[in-house]
């Protein structure tokens, strides 16, 4: 589970970074949507780690807080960009 969290968690940043070099607005949106999916997956793995004792409640809450904040930013960005299309 930790490896899965590591993969999807780092994928968020990788997709946002890759979006900087998108071939257009649709490609940019696509990269942000992938980052959003990876962020949601990260929340799932944090939840599972907390429930199975692999992560203490305090750390899980802190990580989840960051995921929720990041998800909100990604959703707002995607929504704004889609409106501009």
List the chain domain ranges: 2-84
Convert the pLDDT of each residue in 44-53 to its tens digit.
999 999 999 9
Convert the pLDDT of each residue in 59-74 to its tens digit.
999 999 999 999 999 9
CATH number of 2-84: 1.20.1440.60
Judged on CB neighbours under 10 Å (0-12, 13-18, 19+), 54 is middle
What is residue 54's DSSP assignment?
Answer: S
Closest to 34 measured CA to CA, from 82, 4, 78: 78
12 close to 38: Cβ distance less than 8 angstroms: yes
- pTM equals 0.91
Closest to 27 measured CA to CA, from 80, 83, 78, 64: 78
């Amino acid at each position: 589970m930790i490896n899965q969290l590591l993969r999807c968690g780092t994928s968020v940043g990788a997709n946002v970074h890759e979006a900087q070099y998108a071939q257009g607005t649709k490609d940019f949106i696509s990269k942000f949507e992938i980052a959003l999916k990876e962020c949601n997956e990260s929340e799932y793995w944090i939840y599972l780690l907390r429930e199975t004792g692999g992560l203490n409640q305090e750390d899980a809450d802190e990580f989840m807080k960051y995921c929720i904040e990041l998800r909100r930013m990604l959703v707002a960005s995607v929504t704004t960009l889609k409106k501009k299309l």
